[in-house]
Amino acid sequence: QSALTQPASVSGSPGQSIAISCTGTSSDVGAYDYVSWYQQHPGKAPKLLIYGVSNRPSGVSDRFSGSKSGNTASLTISGLQAEDEADYYCCSYTSSVTRVFGGGTKLTVL
Amino acid sequence: QVQLVESGGGVVQSGRSLRLSCTASGFTFSARGMHWVRQAPGKGLEWLAVTSYDGSEKYYADSVKGRFTISRDNSKNTLYLQINSLRAEDTAVYYCAKDTTTPQIDYWGQGTLVTVSS
């Protein structure tokens, strides 16, 4: 049950687009379309951004999008805004019926 | 609206046991899988355990198997996490969270802080 691999940090300027990768294995990310992404601001609970690889819950901005290729999923944030500065986590269902999170990525808006 | 409220955290001595609770409202609790996830200070999210909607199936992270027990009481809309033989490394905010109709977490509680002291 090793954690999914995410970059520790990414940064971008307001208005730019950034992507955060999430690499797993053929037993988790590569095997199922049950990849979700969460945003967490300091001191707050995580918030669902993307589920089912690329689906947005109602109320989540369409600036957030998700995709997957093989064992790697990605979260793209377009039109960066100051309020997007937060930690981002991916999560996948696994063949052991467990879940596994990525190590988290800190997004800095310059 | 969905609400998940955790309780039971606090300062506990190393080696003791603790039971966390999570009271749910705003959805049909007995129809959804439920999880516990923790976050150590300054660290990332760590998935701990899941129970099926009726409690018949339970799965754990290898790191806590044998020491943590997840359970639920659907008559009380409450989820539990029993933690035995507490260690310093169990110090974390513990979140309960619910599944969607697919095995993915959508809503989270605000968390309860467990601090293990020596």
| B63 Cβ under 8 Å from any chain A Cβ | yes
A-B Cβ pairs (cutoff 8 Å, strict): 65
Q: What is the dihedral of CA A88, B101, B107, B61, to 10 degrees?
A: -70
Residue A1 predicted with pLDDT over 80: no
Q: For B104, which of A46, A51, A97 is closest by C-beta distance?
A: A51
Measure in Å the smallest separation between the Cα of B58 and chain A Cα atoms.
Answer: 9
What's the rounded Cα separation, in Å, for the pair B52 and B43?
Answer: 27
pLDDT digits (tens, 9 = 90+) for A74-96: 999 999 999 999 999 999 999 99
Judged by CB atoms closer than 8 Å, whether chains meet at B104 and A34 is answered as yes
Cα nearest neighbour of A48 on chain B = B106
Judged by CB atoms closer than 8 Å, whether chains meet at A46 and B63 is answered as no
Q: For A45, which of B47, B104, B109 is closest by C-beta distance?
A: B109
pLDDT of residue A86: 98
- In chain B, residues with a C-beta closer than 8 Å to the C-beta of A46 are 45, 95, 108
C-alpha distances in angstroms, A13 versus A65, A81, A107, A109? 18, 8, 11, 5
pLDDT classification of B118: cutoffs 50, 70, 90: confident
| B111 Cβ under 8 Å from any chain A Cβ | yes
- In chain B, residues with a C-beta closer than 8 Å to the C-beta of A100 are 47
Judged by CB atoms closer than 8 Å, whether chains meet at A1 and B109 is answered as no
Annotate chain B with three-state secondary structure: CCEEEEECCEEEECCCCEEEEEEEECCCHHHCCEEEEEECCCCCEEEEEEECCCCCCEEECCCCECCEEEEEECCCCEEEEEECCCCHHHCEEEEEEEECCCCCEEEECCCEEEEEEC
Cα nearest neighbour of A53 on chain B = B104
pLDDT digits (tens, 9 = 90+) for A19-71: 999 999 999 999 999 999 999 999 999 999 999 999 999 999 999 999 999 99
- In chain A, residues with a C-beta closer than 8 Å to the C-beta of B110 are 45
By percentage, how much of chain B surpasses pLDDT 90? 98
Mean pLDDT of chain B: 97
Per the CB < 8 A criterion, the answer to whether A81 and A109 are in contact is: yes
